[in-house]
Amino acid sequence: MYQAVSVSNTLIQSVEARIAENRSIRGTCLEILTVSLQLYSALKRRNNTLRPKQPGSFIAMSEPLTKSYVNTHDPEHPVQEDLVLYQLFEKARKEGNDGELVNLETMERMTASQVYDKADEYAKGLLALGLTPGEDILTVVGVPTLEAACLFTAAVSVGIGYAHPYIYYPMEATIKQILPLLESEIVIVGEGRQGNTFSALIDMFNNEAETPRSDVLPHVKHVFYDNSYKDRSPTQKFINKLDKLRQYGESISDQQLEEARKSVKPDHIVHHLFTSGTTGYPKCIAHCHRGVANELLQLRVDNLEAAITVNFNVDELLSYSIISFALAGKFSKVVLTPDLMEESAQDEFGKICVDHLWSEKVEYLLVPPVLVQRFANSLAYWKMKSPSVQLFLNGAQIVSKQFKENLKAVFQGTPFTLYGMCETFAIAYTTLGDQPADLELMLDSRLYPKKNIEVKLVNENNETADIGTDGEILVKTCSIFKSYRGLPEKTRAAFTDDGYFRTGDMGMMYPDGTFIIKGRTADAIRFKVFGDVIYPGPIEEVISKYPGVKDVSVVSGRNSDFLGDEVTYCMKLKPEASKPSDKDIFEFSVKNGLNDSQRAARIIYFDAFPTTPNARKVSKPLLRKSVSAMIDKDPDVGVTEWFKELLLNLSQPI
């Protein structure tokens, strides 16, 4: 077993110098609940007992690895087994760390102190209505206001599970699919930008009843309406305004509130998140206090400058992660974007956001890459210049080097890629060094495992892969989720017998313990003619740069024992673009470094790609089904001249 050691002296000194000058350091967030600024503490704080043997790197091994396994246990800052999230909020509260929250949808402003005070009243209300710490769940839907931050803090403080699922179209179907899993007795609903969430939810109830009655949501006993924004004054008798929840709390004393807080256990569920549904319907992921709190604890600096992140109604994972950092005193200000609006040339959403980059003095762009791109598009459309930010997030998925370079030219900050999942929080991240070699590693997405994690790559035989060979990434860390709610079999199947979580991602590890992502195991294409396993990411990165291509997704087409999987380029073109010839695509791919095994056997054009149920990602399983159906209907669909010639040559007698 090898153990990661501390960062280099040179890198520490360069970071500490920037801190002294700017009173801020470059942190980032996770795409997956408690966003992972913990890496900055790993950079900033010197480890006096361990010394690096490879200057300029985050970790150095006692000797080069031969097997793809690394353990980054940090003896100076080990996992705190008895920690709950609200302890970190309470510590910041007592120390007077009073950051500010700004909401660009509602133009509200609240200090952390105001959030804490209102959260106390809401927490008393939850207790007065009989919710039990460690058992019950508070569900919030369609609430884009800062009341959501107060409700989250209230639930966290007394051990009530919290959920604020993203309700996507068709909303009625989504509500029927997601909300019953939570079995919540209390649901709080708001208007959002369009008010569609409220309408869809209320239609689930008997509107003539005095109390909530619903065949879809039979557990619901109380429905509260956030009337602080776009109040439609609902007339249903079973709906109470949100202020009523605080009034219920008047029957609970401060002593009872404190006793409830003391009853919260590290293994109580703190947050319920929903996956994007890549493999089918979204799964409900339950995270406990211990994991979330330890993830947050690893960031050991306070009062970073202003960050912008997404609204609660856009992405519950990022928004509550960054809010958690703010409530723990890690950010001096957090700005929430508006609720999402339709993208257009003028893009009102992007314009509002970039205007406030200046006025709110934002230094950290902690939003998904697609929104960073919308910011950049709005700056270009309105002929505005971006303030120089400290850091912008590229997200956890494979993002092209050119994409990062383009955004770096716009925002002048550090492009940061974080690898993680809803089930794991952060797993690894790119370097934050400022030397030319560091920048290349950032752009190439060489990933460094975070502190207190075990990362192992296994081959097809479930054995630890040799260094330099591909393997599925397995991880073991305190921040792993507790369960898929209501799915015990899927929960068990997600782990190995020795407790590692199967990420489903393929990667390759280097001798220093760093690794890269190759793609999803389910997306691997085995083209037997050349004996290669091919992953879509590198191909998609190249072909996406072809003039006129709007989007590309690579899947396997027809499969045969002789040839293996056919590499199929599924492409969407921009409206003004004409279809390129096979020869043009071939020459472009060769010029940009693709080899024979990565060339297209088929090129099929689509007007739109099928997406996951929440419409956030292209669904490759559904895309593969579409391609398979097209081939069944027409075996020659999209077949390229190169592949026809290959088949002809292979059919010739030897």
Range with top average pLDDT, 26-40, 441-455, 632-646: 632-646
Three-class SS of residue 618? strand
pLDDT of residue 14 exceeding 50, the answer is: no
What DSSP string runs through 93-161? HHTT---EEEETTTTEEEEHHHHHHHHHHHHHHHHHTT--TTT-EEEEES--STHHHHHHHHHHHTT-E
Tell me, what CATH number does 603's domain have?
3.30.300.30
**Statement to judge: residues 406 and 447 lie in one domain:** yes
Residue 61 shares a structural domain with residue 89? no
Residue 301 is assigned to a structural domain of this protein: no
Q: Could you tell me if residue 51 is inside a domain? A: yes
Please check whether residue 275 lies inside any domain of the structure. no
Query: For the segment 303-345, what is each residue's pLDDT rounded down to a tens digit?
Result: 899 999 999 998 888 899 999 999 999 999 999 999 988 777 6
* pLDDT at res. 16: 33
Burial class (CB in 10 A: 0-12, 13-18, 19+), 128: middle
Q: Contact 245/125 with Cβ under 8 angstroms?
A: yes
Report the 10 Å Cβ neighbour count for 19. Answer: 16
Question: Is 300 inside a domain boundary?
Answer: no
Claim to verify: residue 475 and residue 342 sit in the same structural domain: yes
Choose between 595 and 255: higher pLDDT.
255
Instruction: Note the pLDDT tens digit of each residue in 81-119.
Output: 999 999 999 999 999 989 999 999 999 999 999 999 999
Residue 380 falls inside a structural domain: yes
Taken as a whole, the chain contains a residue count of 654
Q: Would you call 611 exposed, middle or buried from its count of C-beta atoms within 10 A (0-12, 13-18, 19+)? A: middle
Alpha-carbon span 410 to 217, nearest angstrom: 47
Q: Are strands 602-605 and 306-309 parallel, antiparallel or unpaired?
A: unpaired
Query: Looking at residues 372-395, what average pLDDT do you find?
Result: 88
Residue 35 sits in the same domain as residue 125: no
Considering the entire predicted model, what is its pTM?
0.82
From 520, 543, 567, the end of a domain falls on: 520
Please report where in the chains the tokens 């997406």 appear, as a residue: 611
Instruction: Give the mean model confidence (pLDDT) for residues 395-409.
Output: 72
Q: What secondary structure letter does DSSP report for 1? A: -
Q: Is 513 in the same domain as 530?
A: no
- Confidence check: pLDDT of 560 > 90: no
The two beta strands, 602-605 and 564-573, are: parallel
Residues 438 and 500 in one domain: yes
CA distance 519 to 373: 23
Contacts of 627 (CB under 8 A, 6+ apart): 555, 557, 568, 570, 602, 604
Residues 6+ apart with CB under 8 A from 378: 347, 350, 351, 353, 354, 384
Of 503, 520, 537, the domain-final residue: 520
Q: Confidence band (pLDDT; 50, 70, 90) for 531?
A: confident
Q: Give domain status of residue 140, yes or no.
A: yes
**Which is more confidently placed, 367 or 33?**
367
Reported as half-sphere exposure (CB side, CA atoms, 13 A), residue 526 has a value of 8
Cα angle for residues 374, 378, 382 (degrees, 5° grid) = 175
* Same domain, yes or no: 436 and 536: no
> How far is it, in rounded angstroms, from Cα 456 to Cα 69?
4
Of 231, 264, 297, the residue that ends a domain is 264
* Three-class secondary structure of residue 195 per DSSP: coil
Contacts 24+ apart (CB under 8 A), 207-213: 207/236, 209/237, 209/238, 210/237, 210/238, 211/238, 212/238, 213/238
Q: For residues 155 and 44, state if they share a domain.
A: no
The mean pLDDT value of the chain amounts to: 85
Instruction: For residue 311, give the nearest of 284, 291, 341, 332 by alpha carbon.
Output: 341
Question: Six-digit token pair at 414?
Answer: 């550090």
Is the confidence at residue 47, as pLDDT, over 60?
Answer: no
Tell whether 507 and 629 lie within a shared domain.
Answer: no
The total domain count for the chain is 3
Q: Is 229 in contact with 376 (CB distance < 8 Å)?
A: no
pLDDT above 50 for 2: no
Residues 384 and 423 occupy one common structural domain: yes
| Torsion sign over Cα 181, 187, 192, 196 | positive
| Dist. CA 129–CA 223, nearest whole Å | 12
Domain range holding 126?
Answer: 85-264
Q: What is d(CA 447, CA 53) in angstroms, rounded to the nearest whole number?
A: 18
- Looking at the DSSP bridge assignments, the partners of residue 552 are 571
Buried b (16+ CB within 10 A) or exposed e, 402-421: ebbeebbebbebbbbbbbbb
- DSSP state, residue 234: -
Tell me the mean pLDDT in the region 526-547: 83
Asked whether residue 286 is domain-assigned, the answer is no
Q: H or E stretch including 179?
A: helix 171-182
Give the CATH number, domain containing residue 151. Answer: 3.40.50.980
- What pLDDT was estimated at residue 416? 81
DSSP H or E segment with residue 532? strand 532-534
Based on the fold, state whether residues 79 and 90 are members of the same structural domain: no
The domain that contains 482 carries what CATH number?
3.40.50.12780
Q: Is residue 605 part of a domain?
A: yes
pLDDT at 279: 57
At 287, list the tokens: 């995270």
Q: Which of 375, 373, 387 is nearest to 349 (CA)?
A: 375
Q: How many CB atoms lie within 10 A of CB 452?
A: 22
Same domain for 203 and 70, yes or no, is: no
